[in-house]
Structure 1
Amino acid sequence: MTGRNSESESVCPLSLGYDFYRDPQPVYREIRGNGGKPTEIVLETGMAYLPPNLKAWLVTSYEDVEFVLRDPRFRKSINEAMPLFAANSPAGARAQGRSSLLYDNMANNDPPTHTALRKPLNGAFTSRAITTKRRVVEELAEAALDAVAGTTDFDLVQDFAFPYSISVICDTLGVPAEDRREFHSWVQTITGEATPEALRRDAAKMVDYLSELLRQKRSGGAEDVLSLLARSLDEPQAVAQAYALLAAGYETTANLIATGMLTLEASPEQKKRLWSDRSLVPGAVEEMLRHQSPFNLSLYRYVTETAVVGGTEIPAGSIVFLAFAAANRDEARFVDPDTFAIDKVRREHLAFGGGIHNCIGKHLARLEAEVAFDALIRRCPELAVRTPAESMRWKASPTFRGLRSLLVGPGPAATAEEEA
């Protein structure tokens, strides 16, 4: 369900569920039509440490999102947030519980914890460091397409986007490629809608797996990212950081590849231009990031004292979510924001967040998406979406907006070796 619970818009919050997860833009247009001010919401779906029917505030305008990103009254601390989740839930409802140390990562904490957790990673994710990985990333894209070579149709999500992006993050972090299927399954449970029992089970499996892998890394001499974490942080911190990098490091890129393809299919002239000129790929990826925003909502924040945002008073103790996907279509910031135009490079978008919590993997995400579309254009010249819109299934997540599958075709006509 998505909509007002009664005729009194000033009293009843917006209830956000599966329709919103599939396409949040109608809700954002409604909020803009009512002045674009911060809006009270109820998130119907519980996941990870969030309880079902959580009451919160949604900030949608570009100006207001930037304000909250930089205002120290809006904080992140997973320990301090847990009782606030309970306080902002219906009577008797319980959060899934902070049942795992996975959630105590830099994305869920402000300085000084955030600073200490992020410091070991800074050098590994600079633009210069990521540029050196291009050849490896290209090889991984080719390998993923080789696996579907000669097919009439293939699943862009399950057969290409996920295997490719998982391979990239495995290579970057130093995770054995043979383990990727297992941790992919665990991540899907943890980041989507799951029963408390399933969540606890797969979170525990992820903790056990990462703990053992990091112990091995600590005693080895490798220089991959997990080895840096293992030697720089204590085990619980390293496990939480490794999980955050694994989950966000492939989920968002895989989602962007699928939603980007879907957007191109809905913009045939733009797709035709891109498929005839691969030099347009970097600009097209930047526009996909703005237009599709693989992070729909931010992770939580809470406000430590009553604050006025965009003329609206948000009470102390409130949970707050930032709508990056709304800010990136704000007509006060972008000209004709709902139009997808690959030759308009609008890098001021907030697809990677901002402030101290700007995405550490943004350079890797851009590289992955650029390499993916370059390979798809070159090896699948007639690629088109086969799945009807009414059959598309979307992930039940307010944060990671992505398709569960997307049938496309025809597949690559030849393997990379045969093509050469």
Structure 2
Amino acid sequence: MTAPTLQELAALRAEGAVHRVLVPGSGESWLVVTRDAARAALTDPRLSNDIRHSASWQTDGGHAVGRNMLQTDPPHHTRLRRLIAGHFTPGRIAALRPGVERIAGDLLDALPRRGTADLVGRYALPLPVTVICELLGVPEGDRGGFHTWSNELVMPTSHEAAAAAADALTGYLTGLTDAKRRTPDDTLLSGLVTAADSGGLTAGELLGTAFLVLVAGHETTVNLISATVHSLLTHPDQLARLRAEPELTEGAVEESLRHNSPVHASAFRFATEPLELAGTAIAAGDSVLVSLAAASRDPAYFPDPDRFDIGRRPQGHLGFGHGLHHCLGAPLARTEAAVAVRLLLERHPSLALATDPAALTWRTSTLLRGLAELPVRLG
């Protein structure tokens, strides 16, 4: 199975909740495509995130950077999540909002008032990169390089390139944590180093947690911002409604999460014992992949699910997952996307696509889906 299209997922969903598929580079797996079955799988304690429960496990793979909470179950997952959860509370995110607005405003100031620009490279990407790097404590001069490495790891172009990116990012984060150890500050990474030095984290967990915050803290948000703008520009009735009712901006972002899930699927789960999922027998050691995109377009819960409607109240979509591994950074991603869309539309009232939508390239992997670029006319 290559990364399935939304149409292919819909066809599978019409046939049943769980399907046996072949995932390139990972072998056979069960793919879950309905909302009920997805929620059940994401909360079933018999489905572990630890690859060592896989029947085919031999090593953790050649592209892992440390060990993070997405690769663990309670109690280790609980301990690792608790170490960074305090940085993503509603109060902390509210305090970050003025900074997000400042960064977005600066990026918009750098765009020409008229002409064309790639909204991914000039806006949707540098906004979350800057925010998460400031939070984590990545020096400004280093921010371009790490995105190249992380993008290769989440959407690999080849085995060799992914391995090289993992080595490069491992070396960079090791050097950065050493620098924080020598010169502590008030950033998240410095706090993680302190936790590691006091015995709260292993060296591998320190590296893995820094990697997860850095990568998950921007990759999905880039896709969310660009997909939301794309959906608005390709649905002029919805764009007109949002311009008339800017208070619907958060609703537009929420509908974009449902309609164009930036995270297409969960991380693999592995059955620790035989179980049944939506009437399908899963053997111990089998892998299970949950399609968040398919679940969020399930017509049993979302009437006319292929319609983009910013007035919809899409409660229950799985754009940020569900259960113990629900995305910790969801409040920050929502804030960044809402700020980005609102300020962009305010600054550029004549914003329009600068190319045929059919000519746009969507980059996909097992986990993620996003636009490679989004050429727009600014005025």
Provide closer, same or farther for how the CA distance between residues 219 and 118 of structure 1 changes in structure 2, counting only shifts above 3 A: farther
1:60–1:323 CA contact under 8 A, matched in 2: yes
1:148 CA drift (Å): 1.4
1:192–1:396 CA contact under 8 A, matched in 2: yes
TM-score normalized by the length of structure 2: 0.94
Query: Corresponding residue for 1:28?
Result: 9
Counterpart code for 1:167? T
Counterpart code for 2:73? D
Distance in 2, matches of 1:256 and 1:159, equals 15
Deviations 1:298-330 (A, max 9, x none): 111111222111111122221110011111111
Q: Larger relative contact order (C-alpha < 8 A, sep ≥ 6)?
A: 2
Query: Corresponding residue for 1:129?
Result: 92
Query: Corresponding residue for 1:352?
Result: 320
Query: Corresponding residue for 1:91?
Result: none
Is the counterpart of residue 369 in structure 1 residue 341 in structure 2? no
Query: Superposed, which structure 2 residues align to 1:14-413 within 5 Å?
Result: 15-17=1-3, 20=4, 24-34=5-15, 36-44=16-24, 46=25, 51=26, 54-81=27-54, 84=56, 98-102=61-65, 104-232=67-195, 233-410=201-378
Tell me whether 392-401 or 136-145 shows the greater mean CA deviation.
392-401
**SS in structure 2 opposite 1:398?**
coil
Counterpart code for 2:2? L
Deviations 1:77-99 (A, max 9, x none): 14444x6267xxxxxxxx9x622
1:214–1:227 CA contact under 8 A, matched in 2: yes
Distance in 1, matches of 2:112 and 2:225, equals 18
2:128–2:222 CA contact under 8 A, matched in 1: yes
1:344 CA drift (Å): 1.8
Distance in 2, matches of 1:332 and 1:127, equals 31
Distance in 2, matches of 1:16 and 1:185, equals 23
**SS in structure 2 opposite 1:402?**
strand
Counterpart code for 1:74? L
1:158 CA drift (Å): 1.1
Counterpart code for 1:84? S
Counterpart code for 1:40? R
2:88–2:332 CA contact under 8 A, matched in 1: yes
**SS in structure 1 opposite 2:288?**
strand
1:33 CA drift (Å): 2.1
**SS in structure 1 opposite 2:45?**
coil
Percent identity of paired positions between Structure 1 and Structure 2: 37
Provide closer, same or farther for how the CA distance between residues 55 and 323 of structure 1 changes in structure 2, counting only shifts above 3 A: same
Q: How many pairs does the alignment contain?
A: 374
1:100 CA drift (Å): 4.7
Runs of 4 or more, structure 1, over 3 Å off, are 78-81
**SS in structure 1 opposite 2:305?**
coil
Counterpart code for 1:165? P
Counterpart code for 1:341? D
**SS in structure 2 opposite 1:239?**
helix
Deviations 1:167-207 (A, max 9, x none): 11111211112111100111111111233322222111111
**SS in structure 2 opposite 1:16?**
coil
Distance in 1, matches of 2:194 and 2:114, equals 45
Tell me whether 153-162 or 216-225 shows the greater mean CA deviation.
216-225
Distance in 1, matches of 2:359 and 2:301, equals 34
1:294 CA drift (Å): 1.0
1:78–1:104 CA contact under 8 A, matched in 2: no
1:151 CA drift (Å): 4.3
Unaligned runs of 5+ in 2: 196-200
Deviations 1:104-161 (A, max 9, x none): 2111211122122111101111111111011000011011112213340111111111
1:281–1:370 CA contact under 8 A, matched in 2: yes
Provide closer, same or farther for how the CA distance between residues 137 and 254 of structure 1 changes in structure 2, counting only shifts above 3 A: same
Counterpart code for 2:120? V
**SS in structure 2 opposite 1:316?**
coil
Counterpart code for 1:217? K
1:74–1:303 CA contact under 8 A, matched in 2: yes
Distance in 2, matches of 1:311 and 1:80, equals 22
Tell me whether 60-69 or 141-150 shows the greater mean CA deviation.
141-150
1:345 CA drift (Å): 2.3
1:253 CA drift (Å): 0.6
Distance in 1, matches of 2:63 and 2:310, equals 42
**SS in structure 2 opposite 1:133?**
helix
2:234–2:357 CA contact under 8 A, matched in 1: no
Distance in 1, matches of 2:30 and 2:114, equals 47
Counterpart code for 2:228? G
TM-score normalized by the length of structure 1: 0.85
**SS in structure 1 opposite 2:166?**
helix
